[in-house]
Amino acid sequence: MNLTKFIGTIILLTTLGSCTSSIDLNKRKESVVWDTIAGPSQGVLLQTNELVSAYIPNRPLQVWLPSTYDAKRKHAVLYMYDGQMLFDAANAWNHKEWRVDEVVDSLLELKEILPTIVVALHNGGQQRNFEYFPQKPHNELNVSFSDSMMADIAKNYGSDSVFRVKSDDYLSYIVVEVMPVINESFNVYEDKSATVIAGSSMGGLMSMYAIGEYPDVFGSAICMSTHWPGGYAPNEDVPQVFQSYIAANIKQDKVGKIYFDYGTETLDEMYEPFQMQVDSILEWNGFRKDMNWRTQKFQGAAHDELSWAKRLHIPLLFALKKQR
Query: Residue 236 contacts by C-beta under 8 Å, 6 or more apart in sequence?
Result: none
Q: Give per-residue pLDDT as tens, 50-107.
A: 899 999 999 999 999 999 999 999 999 999 999 999 998 778 777 788 999 999 999 9
d(CA 196, CA 58): 23
Per-residue pLDDT tens over the stretch 42-58: 999 999 998 999 999 99
List the domains of the chain with CATH numbers: 14-320 (3.40.50.1820)
Residue range 125-184, pLDDT digits in tens:
888 999 999 999 999 999 988 888 888 888 887 776 667 899 999 999 999 999 999 999
CB burial of 2-28 (b: ≥16 within 10 Å; e: otherwise) equals eeeebeeebebeeebeeeebebebeeb
Neighbours of 316 (CB within 10 A): 24
Q: Does pLDDT of 30 surpass 60?
A: no
Query: pTM score, two decimals?
Result: 0.89
Look at residue 205 in the predicted model and tell me its pLDDT: 98
Element (H, E) at 104: helix 100-109
